[in-house]
A and B are shown apart, each in its own frame.
Chain A
Amino acid sequence: MAPCIIFTRCGRMPDVTILGAGVAGLWAARTCLAHGMDVRLIDRAGGPGAQGCSWWAGGMLAPDCEGAVADPRVVAHGRAAADRWRDVTPVTTEGTLVLAPARDRGELARFARRTGRHRWLSRAGLAALEPDLAVTHGQALFFAGEAHLDPRAALADLAADLRARGVVVECAAAVPEMFRGPVLDCRGLAANGEVSGLRGVRGEMVVLQTEDIRLARPVRLLHPRHPLYIVPRAGGVFMLGATQIETEARGMITARAVLELLSVAYALDPRFAEARVIETGADLRPAFEDNVPRVVARDGVLHLNGLFRHGYLMAPVLAEQAVAYLTTGQKGDLVHAN
């Protein structure tokens, strides 16, 4: 493709061009605006939607729980995420509950050992938070400081806020070479090949709706074979997820994944059997080898990528580090530049 220069509406070059309007691109645009830059935002679909993996996220802002397996940087930066999001969209801070089936209680102790900022709940303590779960579970870990949001509402709120400040997402298939001036490439796996070491990790989800079950906060069920998280949303909607498969195969959710997610949910509360399945989904998360998001500076382009399962947790800080590098050359701990 021949390089070309595309001018903004007012006829001059923007300070920065951002490719991709998923959670990373939207946060990059927001952060650039906050630094007084003139921003151009381009997305192949004209805005956030089912084509991007941000659409399929759980929306948990649970840095301490993630710390059971994630890099310490994800925990440290992620703790600031809820406050960032609160300026954009409704954030619910009711904490996270972590449970384990009776015969796998050892998993709970191990999880507690590897994470921080939690406390143990007895059955009575659990009953005070989630009465239904206390019927079947006598012990839980509670991460009181954690939060969650509705990811699709959050994306829409971010886009609406940008629009109000004069940034409209342009619909075009674009690559960094088409632009002069700084480019922030936030296209996720679509940038595969241009940023090395990126791979896709498949995730699958099921959305249920039932009026019978009330949960105020995300629940994680530790299970040696089939871990599960359930994120409550408005209107009796529950998002079930957790599959994490090292494959780049696309395509709809597999029967096996549906079986596993539903049977674990059923084990948690049998009333889920009567819920309606209102949506299923599967997509690939972009990830680097260490599963930690990065800003990669290469050939005049900053790639904000590899957000893995930490998109909503890490997009704000990734954008901040990218803009800091762009404006001052300061290299944050997520910046990879030679």
Chain B
Amino acid sequence: MRDFYGVSLANPMMLGTARFPSPAVMEAAFRASGASVATVSLRREGQGGGAFRALVQRLGVPLLPNTAGCHSAAEAITTARMAREYFETDWIKLEVIGDADTLQPDPFGLLEAAETLCADGFKVFPYTTEDQVLAARLVDAGCGVLMPWGAPIGSGLGLNNIHGLRMLRAAFPDVPMVIDAGLGLPSHAARAMELGFDAILLNTAVAEADDPAAMARAFALAAQAGAAGAAAGPMTARDMAVPSTPVIGKAWL
């Protein structure tokens, strides 16, 4: 299994910490799912919030601060540097938003920020599209992980471009990849893992479920099932039926 900057994850699920009804519910979701990484937002939830930081640190999993809400490379770089100090980690989930409505990544700002942050010693997890050219540039810049989107953030649409994601996976067989954003159902998580991705990252689908802990567990089970299926070597889909019992030698009636 591919690792993330030297860290192997026991459970291929990363979970966000925003939008939960309460910190107690958030903690229950982490416990129920065994999610192995917690993403945290610095821009609005970190600064000055010692109590909330203590709560996420108590989860006992590596923290992945993000630059959510940043709309320029400069803003994302500043936020990343603050996050490094605040959360004492050089991991950063790099988000540079290009469109306020769709929250899709700005590929140009993303690359610019990734180059600066990688040179500055950060271990960058770039939130990107399934675009292969951009992915190659990000890897060249020093990104050791890619985080392609499944669908727009918070949309719950699942994997919007299966073909593009499969191509991306095939193009970078050695780069660990996390499907980030857009997952709405556990089946989406299973599908992502069946495609050979290394982990999933989600937040809204769990935090806004009626029972967040139960939904978190459902996603974790689905991700594990998908990963197990991918590792077991799936059969090839065919257009024609193939009987599982031989027809030759069957009695003529």
Write the residues of chain A forming the contact surface with B, with a CB cutoff of 8 angstroms: 69-71, 110, 113-114, 198-200, 224, 245-250, 287, 289-292
B49 touching A247, Cβ below 8 Å: yes
Contact of A247 among B22, B25, B52 (CB under 8 A): B52
B154 touching A247, Cβ below 8 Å: no
Q: Contacts A70-B21, A289-B24, A291-B21 known; A249 to B210 CB distance under 8 Å?
A: no
A246 touching B49, Cβ below 8 Å: yes
A248 touching B50, Cβ below 8 Å: yes
On chain A, the residues within 8 Å of B154 by CB distance are 224
A246 touching B22, Cβ below 8 Å: no
A245 touching B45, Cβ below 8 Å: yes
Cα-based distance from A291 to B23 in the complex (angstroms): 8
Cα-based distance from A69 to B207 in the complex (angstroms): 10
B55 at the interface (CB under 8 A from A): yes
- Given A245-B45, A249-B47, 14 new contacts (CB under 8 A): A114-B210, A199-B23, A245-B44, A247-B44, A247-B45, A247-B47, A247-B48, A248-B51, A249-B48, A289-B55, A290-B23, A290-B24, A291-B21, A291-B23
On chain A, the residues within 8 Å of B46 by CB distance are 247
List 10 contacting pairs A-B, 8 Å CB cutoff, sorted by A: A70-B21, A110-B208, A114-B210, A246-B23, A246-B45, A246-B49, A247-B49, A248-B50, A248-B52, A249-B48
With both beta carbons as reference points, the residue of chain A lying nearest to B44 in the complex is identified as A245
Cα-based distance from A70 to B46 in the complex (angstroms): 23
On chain B, the residues within 8 Å of A245 by CB distance are 44-45
B112 at the interface (CB under 8 A from A): no
Sort A-B residue pairs by CB-CB distance and give the 5 closest, nearest first.
A249-B48, A199-B51, A247-B49, A290-B24, A291-B22
With both beta carbons as reference points, the residue of chain A lying nearest to B155 in the complex is identified as A224
On chain A, the residues within 8 Å of B210 by CB distance are 113-114
Among A246, A250, A287, chain B packs the most CB atoms within 10 A around the CB of: A246
On chain B, the residues within 8 Å of A289 by CB distance are 22-24, 27, 55
Q: Contacts A70-B21, A289-B22, A290-B24 known; A246 to B47 CB distance under 8 Å?
A: no
On chain B, the residues within 8 Å of A199 by CB distance are 23, 49, 51-52, 55
On chain A, the residues within 8 Å of B25 by CB distance are 290
Contact of A248 among B23, B44, B48 (CB under 8 A): B48
Cα-based distance from A28 to B115 in the complex (angstroms): 58
Among B46, B51, B208, B210, chain A packs the most CB atoms within 10 A around the CB of: B51
CB distance from A190 to the nearest CB of B (A): 15
On chain A, the residues within 8 Å of B48 by CB distance are 247-250
A249 touching B21, Cβ below 8 Å: no
Among A113, A249, A250, chain B packs the most CB atoms within 10 A around the CB of: A249
- What is the 8 Å Cβ interface bit string for chain B, positions 139-177, against chain A (1 contact, 0 not)? 000000000000000100000000000000000000000
Q: Contacts A114-B210, A224-B154, A289-B27 known; A246 to B52 CB distance under 8 Å?
A: yes
With both beta carbons as reference points, the residue of chain B lying nearest to A249 in the complex is identified as B48
With both beta carbons as reference points, the residue of chain A lying nearest to B26 in the complex is identified as A289
With both beta carbons as reference points, the residue of chain A lying nearest to B21 in the complex is identified as A69
Cα-based distance from A281 to B47 in the complex (angstroms): 19
CB distance from A148 to the nearest CB of B (A): 23
Cα-based distance from A250 to B47 in the complex (angstroms): 10
With both beta carbons as reference points, the residue of chain B lying nearest to A106 in the complex is identified as B156
Cα-based distance from A70 to B24 in the complex (angstroms): 12
With both beta carbons as reference points, the residue of chain A lying nearest to B23 in the complex is identified as A289
On chain B, the residues within 8 Å of A249 by CB distance are 47-49
With both beta carbons as reference points, the residue of chain B lying nearest to A245 in the complex is identified as B44
With both beta carbons as reference points, the residue of chain A lying nearest to B18 in the complex is identified as A246
With both beta carbons as reference points, the residue of chain B lying nearest to A200 in the complex is identified as B51
- What is the 8 Å Cβ interface bit string for chain B, positions 20-55, against chain A (1 contact, 0 not)? 011111010000000000000000111111111001
With both beta carbons as reference points, the residue of chain A lying nearest to B40 in the complex is identified as A246
With both beta carbons as reference points, the residue of chain B lying nearest to A287 in the complex is identified as B22
CB distance from A91 to the nearest CB of B (A): 27
- What is the 8 Å Cβ interface bit string for chain B, positions 37-79, against chain A (1 contact, 0 not)? 0000000111111111001000000000000000000000000
Among B47, B49, B208, chain A packs the most CB atoms within 10 A around the CB of: B49
On chain B, the residues within 8 Å of A71 by CB distance are 22
On chain A, the residues within 8 Å of B22 by CB distance are 71, 287, 289-292
On chain A, the residues within 8 Å of B24 by CB distance are 289-291
